[in-house]
Amino acid sequence: MKHSLTVSLKSQSIAVERFLRVVRHRGFDLTHFQLNMDDGQYHVAMTVDSDKPIYLLTTQLNKLVDVKNVTLENLQQQAM
């Protein structure tokens, strides 16, 4: 399944590295990634793809000190 997320991070390059490491270690494939800086923080819009439940990723991202907010935008069934 594909999942679209919006994540707000501290504006430090190490925060982006930690965030991406969690995505990779949780077994999600990053299919879209857009990084913008606004109001002194990074805003990431991304799409991930995996058969795993999305809560496995969102709960881990919310535990990161550098992450301010994680929003699940939508869910869509992967085309077969």
Tens-binned pLDDT, residue by residue, of the chain (80 aa): 899 999 999 998 899 999 999 999 999 999 999 999 998 899 999 999 999 999 999 999 999 999 999 999 865 554 44
Q: Where are the domains of the chain?
A: 2-72
CA distance 74 to 10: 24
Q: What is the 3-state secondary structure (H, E, C) of 7-75?
A: EEEECCHHHHHHHHHHHHHCCCEEEEEEEEEECCEEEEEEEEECCCCCHHHHHHHHHCCCEEEEEEEEE
pLDDT at 78: 45
pLDDT at 79: 47
- CATH for 2-72 is 3.30.70.260
